[in-house]
Structure 1
């Protein structure tokens, strides 16, 4: 099973339990804290993915680091550690946040561009996405200089690649197949 699918299943199970316990937003705050902490701390990522450390050592480190977290969050750490899946904690947190946003009627769209979007273009993209989806959309801009130009738009599971590098790759595949 791919990491993405496994992370989604853990996040969905966590969401279901949080709904059952009426604790969805508190767990969401924990998941945002977990995600931010992992993203800002490369050594924590190394610890979580280390084949040398045991699952219980990783679990202990997480519980010490997030000692004020919800009981469901601690149980997630336990479950991931016992299933030898603690390395996907970041992805689980991301998936939970996405599920939470969808539950709140928000859609998260990511626009990957070679240079940062200006405010006018960002506003136009947001307006168009909200018209199409009928939902409130949050737009995130990621920078990837390898795109050369154009953009890649990701909304949920959909991806639209209008980048120069994407078009060049498509052309290359077409030329090689003939």
Structure 2
């Protein structure tokens, strides 16, 4: 838990600096790339978490991998490593994406259904969700055959479950009382 709080704080600080220096797009692209590289390379994660590898070697490796990064991002990464927080870099990159979306007024919404939904049905669901929030909906669709039918909408801590499986479970609970 402590690490994700730290990651969020570092990500917020980086976003604040990027806004101040008018480099939000460049830093966002850098952090997205960093998250991808860290996720796809467990050896990099292991090296970052290793106490055996010295900070200057870690900085050299990161500079070689991320040489095309904006100067602000490079300085930020160096600061993180010098402060001994390099193990949090992938978490910071993920937190940055969440905080950036919040800053931009983008609300991630996940729509889960038993099968691919018709475009008209999707539009209706998105418009209902859009009416209940402030910001822009960023829709991610998932298919889960276990729902049997209907859909589940998730946004932040809120979940709207209009699935057949949920209705069957509720009916089953009422009948077993």
TM bucket normalised to smaller = 0.7 to 0.9
- Deviations 1:118-154 (CA, angstroms, capped at 9, x unpaired): 46565554333322113211123568x8xx6585824
Other-structure match for 2:49: 49
Other-structure match for 2:60: 60
Gaps of 5+ in 2: 170-177
Other-structure match for 1:25: 25
Is 1:153 matched up with 2:154?
Answer: yes
Change in CA separation of 1:82 and 1:142 when aligned onto 2, cut-off 3 Å: farther
Q: In the aligned structure 2, how far is the partner of 1:84 from the partner of 1:134?
A: 38
Is 1:36 matched up with 2:42?
Answer: no
Secondary structure of the equivalent of 1:77? helix
Which structure has the greater CA radius of gyration?
2
The CA deviation at 1:89 is 0.9
Other-structure match for 2:134: 134
Q: In the aligned structure 2, how far is the partner of 1:126 from the partner of 1:119?
A: 12
Q: In the aligned structure 2, how far is the partner of 1:4 from the partner of 1:40?
A: 20
Secondary structure of the equivalent of 1:137? strand
Q: In the aligned structure 2, how far is the partner of 1:161 from the partner of 1:51?
A: 45
Secondary structure of the equivalent of 1:36? helix
Other-structure match for 2:73: 73
The CA deviation at 1:159 is 4.6
TM-score by length of structure 1 reads 0.72
Question: After the TM superposition, which of the residue ranges 95-104 and 116-125 deviates more from structure 2?
Answer: 116-125
Change in CA separation of 1:110 and 1:4 when aligned onto 2, cut-off 3 Å: farther
Q: In the aligned structure 2, how far is the partner of 1:132 from the partner of 1:24?
A: 28
Question: After the TM superposition, which of the residue ranges 7-16 and 92-101 deviates more from structure 2?
Answer: 92-101
Contact 2:113 2:152 in 1 (8 A): yes
Change in CA separation of 1:78 and 1:134 when aligned onto 2, cut-off 3 Å: same
Change in CA separation of 1:161 and 1:71 when aligned onto 2, cut-off 3 Å: same
Aligned residues: 164
TM-score by length of structure 2 reads 0.73
Q: In the aligned structure 2, how far is the partner of 1:17 from the partner of 1:7?
A: 15
Secondary structure of the equivalent of 2:45? helix
Secondary structure of the equivalent of 1:84? coil
